Copies of this chain bind each other. A is one copy, B any other.
Amino acid sequence: MASSLLTRQLAISLRLAAPGSRYVSKTATKSVSEFEYDAPSMKTAVPGPKSQELLRQLGEIQNVGAVHFFCNYEESRGNYLVDVDGNRMLDVYTQISSIPIGYNHPALMKVMTNPNNVSTFVNRPALGILPPENFPDKLIESLLSIAPSGMRRVQTMACGSCSNENAFKTMFIWYRNKERGYANPSEHEVDTCMINQSPGCPDLSILSFMGAFHGRTLGCLATTHSKAIHKLDIPSFDWPIAPFPKLQYPLEEFVRENAQEEARCLEEVEDLIVKWRQKGKPVAGIVIEPIQAEGGDNHASPDFFSKLRNIARKHGCAFHVDEVQTGGGTTGKFWGHEHWGLDDPADVVSFSKKLLTGGYYHRDELKPDKPYRIFNTWMGDPSKNLFLSEVLNVIRRENLLEVVTRSGKALLQGLYTLQTQYPHILSRARGQGTFCAIDACNDATRDSIMIKARNKGLFMGSCGEKTIRFRPALVFKEYHVHQLLNILNDVLAEHK
């Protein structure tokens, strides 16, 4: 968290933004301005009349309670999302953190217009049985070129939930093979599994954390504990749930208190592992996000993750790091777990969103022992791998991890300044790279700030109970940070 310390000190020492003062910056460096707009431009309140009419139409077909507005993706560019009423907003939510290099990036447009790529879009293969000729090469040049430390094996999937479901299955299979001493399953196991009974379907568990979000399919949902609306009425598994550290921010000012809190949680993790083993539901794996996102942008220290990793190893549990939201460069490193500085950070790392395809890496020891154990019809989508290769080229060519680190510092510094100016409204600014957040005093205030900001051309996301989360694309530059802070400052200045 050295960078947070630095930027906070800078913010305090320089007092860049007194109430009402403006950040002034040149609009755009070359590589961005080539394909994007200069600034937000608003024509109506959001949602505007066209969005409202489309909402009515879509409401006949689906529940539209979560729809914010309808978009004109053709006209959107870079960091700017254009809606159907012609409003152009600075987008720091980016389709729930899933747009890596902005809208309509020229490099991605080129992928589409390359005639060599047409067949990949038109003929979606069943990758597990009939892969295309270039599949090993494409995996090597895309996903394996960014593989986490110690991992040479990767399995693509369609989305984040499927990735985590299959990662869990991989850990269960690995765990039972260990227990069986790698012998063949007994006839009794084979028979009982067909009717959902143990020992064939064993009472194994995955340990997760309060506040976690790992997806919404039934296996994933048993490890998700962020909001009741996700879980209510859906049957679940009796799996152990540990407390996630509730840290005080800024982290550098509460080192001793936070270390105590983390120690308390780790102790609870070990207790739960022992207790669930005694209950006959041993913990096959531990799953955790490097930063709890949906649950409210909750951080923990590298020391916490390092000790948790050791606990997993000590008790023979696989350690699964869910990088669906933290992966892809948004923390300033390609994977959130790289900030821990461990040689051996994980057994399984799952991804989706900014990687455009779902999937997971795993250590050699966890490779499935037989075909068809980890399987489905499509097993991913090569057309998404094509786009990912190009995204990685752009990230390297435009040094986007450095851009994220620089913009992230400016953003966090700005948030520190705002919470100093508006201490009755804002608190707990925190972040890594541009993966930043700040809390409002309550949810109504948070929601009101977000709506007012949107009407001024800044589109943000929420998480947790009263948190605003910032999830810009990797092409989010310092002058975009200044636009964001100026709008937020205006909203806060008007706020009663």
Count of chain copies: 2
Distance in angstroms between the alpha carbons of A137 and B229 in the assembled complex: 29
A interface, size bucket: 35 or more
A105 to chain B: which residues have CB within 8 Å? 122
From B54, B95, B371, contact of A124 by CB (8 A): B95
Contact between chains at B233 and A133 (CB < 8 Å): no
From B122, B135, B228, B370, contact of A194 by CB (8 A): B228
Contact between chains at B118 and A71 (CB < 8 Å): no
A139 to chain B: which residues have CB within 8 Å? 58, 61
Known contacts A136-B58, A169-B234, A218-B165; A113 and B124 CB within 8 A of each other: no
A405 within 8 A of B: no
From B136, B202, B231, B353, contact of A235 by CB (8 A): B202
A219 within 8 A of B: yes
Contact between chains at B158 and A370 (CB < 8 Å): no
A343 to chain B, nearest CB (A): 22
Contact between chains at B203 and A165 (CB < 8 Å): no
Q: Is the interface of A mostly helix, strand, loop or mixed?
A: loop
Distance in angstroms between the alpha carbons of A218 and B170 in the assembled complex: 12
A selection of 26 A-B contacts at a CB cut-off of 8 Å is A61-B144, A64-B371, A68-B130, A70-B133, A71-B132, A73-B123, A95-B124, A95-B129, A96-B377, A99-B124, A112-B118, A161-B165, A165-B216, A168-B218, A173-B234, A193-B232, A194-B228, A196-B231, A196-B241, A197-B236, A200-B231, A200-B233, A201-B233, A204-B233, A215-B376, A216-B376
Q: Enumerate chain A interface residues (CB-CB to B < 8 A).
A: 50, 54, 57-58, 60-74, 76, 81, 84, 95-96, 98-99, 103-105, 108-109, 111-113, 118-126, 128-133, 135-136, 139-140, 144, 152-155, 158-162, 165-166, 168-169, 172-173, 175-177, 185, 189-190, 193-197, 200-205, 210, 215-219, 222, 225, 227-239, 241, 352-353, 356, 367-368, 370-378, 383, 387
